[in-house]
A and B are shown apart, each in its own frame.
Chain A
């Protein structure tokens, strides 16, 4: 199975861990295509999301090597088992690629003809989406089987953005869905839906998102392996309509979702109220 990874940046922990996990499952990527990290749009967006200090901390963690036996800083600590390598932390897709020997190409947009040409050259069976642009038809046509995504919610109930938070607000079980990407928003055929066991172990919304990301990476590797063995087939989603599309959550509603998660974590209070 020839697998290519799409990444939002060479510094993406998710893409790096995905590459390692796929390798462990016997599928060393034949290449990875990442967006350039230092473009104005991404920088401004990240400053908006994390604040200037958050961006500086992130950049420091990526650029300054970890000392001695101390593990490097990871935004998502659930990815550590995959990113620890011989006593050090792999901090970028480039470092992973050096260890496992596959090429990494950079682009400013994954849909550009030049990017599509690069992907075609790798002639992938599947492309695993680990971040980047909204994908257009020419790119979607490149792989033999399709482009795979690990969506952080259960499809078709929760499509779109902020899926874990919306799942909490809509009382939908927390989980991930491995599906093919088509031109709609999370409307492609589904390969596997997996509920997260023990969601109550998550301390916060961001912790929950990190756990789901790691869970998605693990399940993605299983699905790729199952596709390789011809043991899995995709099924179309049953109810694709406006009722299941969700958008980025405002901070005040995110706080409500966090409250709901907190209440899930403290069932004893529920017990006392029921008593």
Chain B
């Protein structure tokens, strides 16, 4: 076991102990915990996956979207940041800059869809908190709030996504300046080959899922009209695309002490796809489409995506990483938008049905409307937790589904009837 792996195991054990201690402080959480453990056990025993059918909850998309957004709003802390998770043992975590950053666009999107100004207020509070964290270098710190002051490439990229959207919505010049400062720091940290490694990178290593950072830089390039950021995004895209394999697998997730969770694999696809769309790189869209198709076939055939995969999908872990599923739904929906291939939309609709089933309609704050880390809840990815980034990506997927279905149905009804 390497030093890094040992560290990871020790840190996981410490986290588990501290969360278990949380249950001693609020013993009434035992009810939610027991109920969730029992319901997942029951679902596992009864569920039937069959080639010819799919999970159909008959639950309304809009209703689920409201529940999920309510979870996000409930998770907003007094400081304005959004908690990383709600643990069934320890309750809400501290605010999490990374997730708060990329949840801001989701809040604006839902405000637009629902006309609810509370979402805009929430986005503004989140933005104010994020700005208070920005370092003099332009970077944003890693980890949870109060967890340290080490600048982080990934967190800076995700906060940048939020700032870009706030600027697009408000045209505030101070926001653009902050975004450009973060972008400058990211460009300075980038290696000559287009990757990010070194002290600002997690475990000091280069990761292909940092394509999510490239996406943020591509967005900044568009709103600032500064092509330095677009060029940096493309350098990273080139570096990432070189790691796509013909099997659909992508090398370079590079997380010591963790399996290749679907969440990180989906990050690679999402970041690369969105960056490729913004930079008009058809090679990027094609590479992502190839990998997304492999995942689609797995999902359609097994009605399930594994929570983590070994290289080249040789072996999968038998639990679901629900956040990874929500992200794959986003990827398929965007690919449908780009390619008009209805099979992507079809898979995403079915994935969303399955995910809707996992969202609690009743329960205490922190549980209702939440997306668990894993299904079953004791699965390896963020066990016993409802996680904010799962809610963020699921809300994105549901809003995309609504927009695309409305468009498709309107287009179909307006189309000239086919000649017989």
**Which of A170, A245, A270 contacts B419, CB < 8 Å?**
A270
| Nearest CB on A from B320, distance (A) | 19
Residues of A within 8 A of B412 (CB): 256, 259-260
- Cβ contacts A217-256/B at 8 Å (1 or 0 each): 0000000000000000000000000100111111111001
- Cβ contacts B285-297/A at 8 Å (1 or 0 each): 0000000010001
Segment at the interface with B among A44-52, A103-111, A143-151 = A44-52
| Nearest CB on B from A191, distance (A) | 24
**CA–CA, A41 and B48, complex, Å:** 7
Chain B residue nearest to A253 (CB atoms) is B346
B53 on the interface (CB 8 Å rule)? Answer: yes
Q: What is the predominant secondary structure among interface residues of chain B facing chain A? A: helix
Give the interface size bracket for B toward A.
Answer: 20 to 34
B420 on the interface (CB 8 Å rule)? Answer: yes
Q: What is the predominant secondary structure among interface residues of chain A facing chain B? A: helix
Chain A residue nearest to B300 (CB atoms) is A247
Contact A264 B420, CB 8 Å, known A134-B51, A247-B346: yes
Residues of A within 8 A of B51 (CB): 134, 161, 248
Give the interface size bracket for A toward B.
Answer: 20 to 34
B54 on the interface (CB 8 Å rule)? Answer: yes
B28 on the interface (CB 8 Å rule)? Answer: no
Please state if A263 and B349 are interface contacts (CB–CB under 8 Å).
no
Please state if B417 and A266 are interface contacts (CB–CB under 8 Å).
yes
**Which of A41, A171, A266 contacts B50, CB < 8 Å?**
A41
Please state if A45 and B52 are interface contacts (CB–CB under 8 Å).
yes
B42 on the interface (CB 8 Å rule)? Answer: no
**CA–CA, A250 and B54, complex, Å:** 8
A23 on the interface (CB 8 Å rule)? Answer: no
A206 on the interface (CB 8 Å rule)? Answer: no
**CA–CA, A252 and B345, complex, Å:** 10
Q: Chain A residues in contact with chain B, CB under 8 A?
A: 41, 44-45, 48-49, 134, 161, 169-171, 200, 242, 245-253, 256, 259-260, 263-267, 269-270, 273-274
21 contacts between A and B (CB under 8 A): A44-B48, A45-B52, A48-B53, A134-B51, A161-B51, A161-B52, A242-B297, A246-B343, A247-B347, A248-B52, A248-B53, A250-B353, A253-B342, A253-B345, A253-B346, A259-B413, A260-B418, A264-B418, A266-B417, A270-B416, A270-B418
